[in-house]
């Protein structure tokens, strides 16, 4: 960063912790009647209005989950909310409130936090959720963002990972592998830049997958679409770690196996051409890439007609007895390949 710009930035110490919290949160307005008391008291008060309360939390740590070398702070704020709302959507619940905890070192000026909170506010607007609290603390190392999302839902609508039965159809929303391929492009261009800061990054034509990585969306829209089709999934999960990992989670919780058809996996054309360019197997990107934040769910086979030609959904396989295991049926050869997943490689 240029020295000139550095001098124009405001150190956090100038506002102090309380001033900072006020400064960052005063523009947030409230959209949900269930929000009774929010920022400014010792704790928030939420009125569940007779519904079940669904809660989830996720932490994003600098250097582990994101690299500020190529992730804009605004996008980081937006995405940190989205990944949490995705978990609420995966329970078939409506997200209503979030809490945001930040740990920052003094190398971050107030303006950096403003950017993060701007991204957070955009997500709150788009998804109609209220920021009702959080925590602010200093960090010795880097930036850590922890978001807790709260959702409310009638008991009978909640969908868990448990509940898939043999012969149920396995369905996924949207397309897969794009976020991972977007990350590969960002990392490639970032290393080019580090080697020679005068080089302009080549990002043209990759818009779709870059957006999938930097500005993913939570599929909070799916709940209504399914309800309009008169479908209640028998089990559901969001695709955060990669399809293979999520299929195995549904398998474990529901005590069934799954057969997934490689030729049914939804892949976007930009994802396909980028995989080809980078010499990556697109199926592996879909299975193990992660961060797509689509929803993976099972439905009763009797719901097949309701969903078969719907562009929002791809039927990618079906549940089998647990003893039959979890397999990918390879395109062409019909060979059965065991599904495996290491999970998120943070450790
Ligand atoms: P306490 O000392 O009781 O933890 P704080 O001073 O941390 O209280 O927080 C004061 C209020 O500001 C609380 O309502 C808290 O939820 C909210 N708050 C603190 N930090 C943040 C933040 N980073 N984002 C949003 N709200 C925050
Ligand atoms: Mg506190």
In a domain, 1, yes or no: no
In this predicted model, what pLDDT tens digit does every residue of 130-181 receive, in sequence order? 999 999 999 988 999 999 999 999 999 999 999 999 999 999 999 999 999 9
> Is the same domain home to 300 and 329?
yes
Q: Quick check: is 343 in a domain?
A: no
Buried/exposed code over 177-192 (b: 16+ C-beta within 10 A; e: otherwise) = bbbbbbbbbbeebeee
Residue 44 has pLDDT above 90, yes or no: yes
**CB proximity list for 145: less than 8 A, separation 6 or greater:** 59, 60, 61, 76, 77, 80, 100, 101, 102, 116
Verify whether ligand 1 is closer than 6 Å to residue 21 (CB atom): yes
- Domain boundary pick from 107, 128, 157: 157
Show the domain range for 261: 169-338
Residue pair 280/184 in contact by the 8 Å Cβ criterion? yes
Are 125 and 262 in a shared domain?
Answer: no
Residue 132 and residue 22 share a domain: yes
pLDDT value at residue 7: 66
- Cβ–ligand 1 contact at 134 (below 6 Å): yes
User: How far apart are the C-alpha atoms of 238 and 342, rounded to whole Å?
Assistant: 17
49 and 113 share a domain? yes
In this structure, the strands spanning 256-261 and 313-321 are antiparallel
| 200 and 134 fall within a common domain | no
Shortest-distance Cα residue to atom 7 of ligand 1: 135
Same domain, 276 and 322: yes
Selection from 189, 159, 179, 314 nearest residue 241 by Cα: 179
> Is 16 touching ligand 1 by the criterion CB < 6 Å?
no
pLDDT score at 101: 97
This model's pTM is above 0.85 = yes
Question: Please, which residues bridge with residue 39 across strands?
Answer: 41
Give the model's pLDDT for residue 203.
Answer: 85
Strand, helix or coil for residue 168: coil
Q: Is residue 344 part of a domain?
A: no
Mean of pLDDT values over 49-72: 94
**Are 114 and 218 within one domain?**
no
- Spatial contact of 294 and 246, defined as CB atoms under 8 Å apart: no
Residues 317, 295: Cα–Cα separation, whole Å: 14
CATH number, position 299:
3.90.650.10
Total domains in the chain come to: 2
Query: The domain that contains 35 carries what CATH number?
Result: 3.30.1330.10
Q: Is residue 77 part of a domain?
A: yes
Output the residue whose Cα is nearest ligand 1's atom 8. 42
Q: Is the CB of residue 142 less than 8 Å from the CB of residue 63?
A: yes
């Amino acid at each position: 960063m240029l020295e000139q710009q550095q001098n124009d930035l405001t150190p956090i110490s100038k506002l102090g912790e309380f001033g900072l919290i006020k400064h960052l949160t005063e523009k947030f307005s409230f959209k949900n009647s269930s929000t009774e008391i929010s920022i400014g008291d010792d704790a928030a008060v939420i009125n569940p209005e007779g519904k079940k309360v669904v809660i989830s939390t996720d932490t994003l740590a600098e250097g582990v989950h994101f690299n500020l070398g190529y992730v804009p702070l605004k996008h980081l704020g937006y995405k940190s909310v989205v990944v949490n709302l995705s978990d609420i959507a995966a329970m078939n619940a409506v997200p209503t409130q979030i809490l945001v905890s930040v740990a920052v070192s003094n190398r971050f000026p107030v303006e950096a936090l403003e950017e993060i909170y701007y991204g957070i506010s955009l997500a709150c607007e788009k998804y109609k959720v209220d920021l009702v609290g959080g925590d602010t603390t200093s960090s010795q190392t880097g930036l850590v963002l922890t978001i807790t999302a709260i959702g409310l839902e009638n008991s009978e609508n909640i969908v868990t990972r448990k509940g898939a039965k043999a012969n149920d159809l396995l369905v996924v929303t949207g397309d897969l592998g794009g976020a991972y391929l977007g990350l590969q492009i960002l990392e490639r261009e970032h290393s080019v830049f580090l080697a020679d800061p005068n080089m302009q990054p080549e990002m043209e034509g990759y818009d779709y997958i870059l957006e999938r990585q930097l500005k993913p969306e939570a599929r909070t829209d799916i709940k209504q679409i399914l309800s309009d089709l008169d479908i209640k999934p028998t089990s559901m999960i969001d695709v955060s770690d990669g399809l293979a990992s999520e299929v195995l989670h549904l398998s474990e919780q529901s005590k069934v196996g799954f057969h997934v058809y490689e030729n049914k996996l939804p892949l976007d054309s930009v994802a396909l051409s980028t995989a080809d360019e980078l010499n990556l197997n697109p199926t592996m990107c879909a299975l193990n890439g992660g961060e797509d934040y689509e929803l993976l769910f099972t439905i009763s086979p009797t719901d097949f007609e309701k969903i078969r030609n719907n562009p929002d959904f791809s039927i990618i396989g079906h549940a089998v007895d647990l003893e039959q295991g979890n397999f990918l049926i390879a395109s062409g050869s019909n060979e059965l390949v065991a599904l495996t997943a290491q999970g998120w490689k943070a450790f």
